[in-house]
Amino acid sequence: MKNKDIKWLSMLGLCAWALLSGCTSVNTFPNIARPGDTVSVMVGGSAQARKSNVSAVLTDASGQVFDLQALGKVRSVFNLRTDGRSIGQHYSPYLDSYVSWIFGHEPLQTVMVADLPATATVGQATLSVGFNGVNDNSSGAGNPFTVKMEIIAGKGASEKFLRSALGGDQPVNFSRLETAPHAQVNFGTGTTFIGAASLVIDFNETVVNANDLNVYVPESTVRGDFLNPGAFGKTQRMVYWHQDGLKLYVDIVAPQGIDPRFLQLFVVHPTGLASSPAFSIVSAQVYGTDGNAIAVTPTLTYSP
């Protein structure tokens, strides 16, 4: 493994460790770089963040202002999730584990990778990063926020992040890290715990091949609640799904009951479709832990 690969993996590890507290960078990584080099920035925790809606403006030591988005210097924006076995995943303070769910998503760390302009002046610089139309950033940082870095003398180069493959060293394909188009199903923020649910989701089978659909269900490991941390187990659920080529059928079982805000699912599909798959919930039954129907109406939102 090359030294630059170790540095890249170290950055991923640091971001994954930091995501539980919804952090945002105070410096880039690395925080010292040459003009033209590649840097990465932890830009909060947002399920809505995309490469297309990020703003990134560099102001160098001479006062030059570079709009990295307009210059095509923003290479990728993607989310990281921590190791499911990590200490922080299970034994973080309650608020650290819960804060992202307040904003409507699982714990995650948003990362931006960008190239510096080759004509940036040597010296102290600032990078202002923000997102347009994003309202779920669990970091608590301002939008935009500013991070610091130092530009040093030399001629940098855009990092390819080479990886070993059967065909030889290959550059990283950042698009494979970015969020796929999806429909998100939420069960609201009510106080009645859900014991089971059954959904039927329709879609336009002429637009998307049913065999290309997949369902992702975020896991929650929040322990008890703020006043009474208690034990694990209150967020357990089992999800089963299948499709018949025309519709998607999802069945959820949570015998101990689950807080609705911890129950989410995503129907994911490939990029490059000719139009929207037109996902819609055509049938939904939701039950409490006693087996009786409860007044919870799942909602579906589509993100292309």
Quick check: 27 and 148 in contact, CB under 8 A? yes
Question: Of 128, 145, 176, which one is at a domain's C-terminal end?
Answer: 176
Task: Compare 130 and 140 and report the one with higher pLDDT.
Answer: 130
Quick check: 131 and 54 in contact, CB under 8 A? yes
Mean pLDDT (the chain) is 89
pLDDT confidence of residue 171: 87
Question: Of 176, 202, 235, which one is at a domain's C-terminal end?
Answer: 176
Are 69 and 217 contained in the same domain? no
Q: What is the pLDDT of residues 20-48, one digit of tens each?
A: 555 777 777 778 999 999 999 999 999 99
27-33 and 145-151 strand pairing: parallel
Q: What is the pLDDT of residues 224-263, one digit of tens each?
A: 766 666 678 889 999 999 999 999 999 999 999 999 999 9
Are 75 and 160 contained in the same domain? yes
Is the pTM value of this prediction over 0.85? yes
Q: How many domains does the chain have?
A: 2
Are 100 and 238 contained in the same domain? no
109-115 and 74-80 strand pairing: antiparallel
Task: Compare 14 and 291 and report the one with higher pLDDT.
Answer: 291
pLDDT score of 141 more than 80: yes
Are 124 and 272 contained in the same domain? no
Are 106 and 11 contained in the same domain? yes
Are 149 and 237 contained in the same domain? no
How is residue 204 written in tokens? 């336009």
Question: Of 124, 153, 176, which one is at a domain's C-terminal end?
Answer: 176
pLDDT score of 165 more than 60: yes
Give the residue among 217, 221, 220, 199 at the shortest CA–CA distance from 266. Answer: 217
Quick check: 303 and 219 in contact, CB under 8 A? no
Are 170 and 54 contained in the same domain? yes
CATH of the domain at 126: 2.60.40.10
Domain span including residue 247? 182-303
Q: How many CB atoms lie within 10 A of CB 131?
A: 22
Are 137 and 234 contained in the same domain? no
Unique residue bearing structure tokens 């950055």: 11
pLDDT score of 12 more than 60: no
pLDDT confidence of residue 11: 46
Separation between Cα atoms, residue 225 and residue 250, nearest integer Å: 28
**166: which residues sit within 8 A by CB, 6+ positions away?**
none
CATH of the domain at 272: 2.60.40
Are 129 and 204 contained in the same domain? no
Are 149 and 198 contained in the same domain? no
User: Which strand (E) or helix (H) includes residue 27?
Assistant: strand 27-33
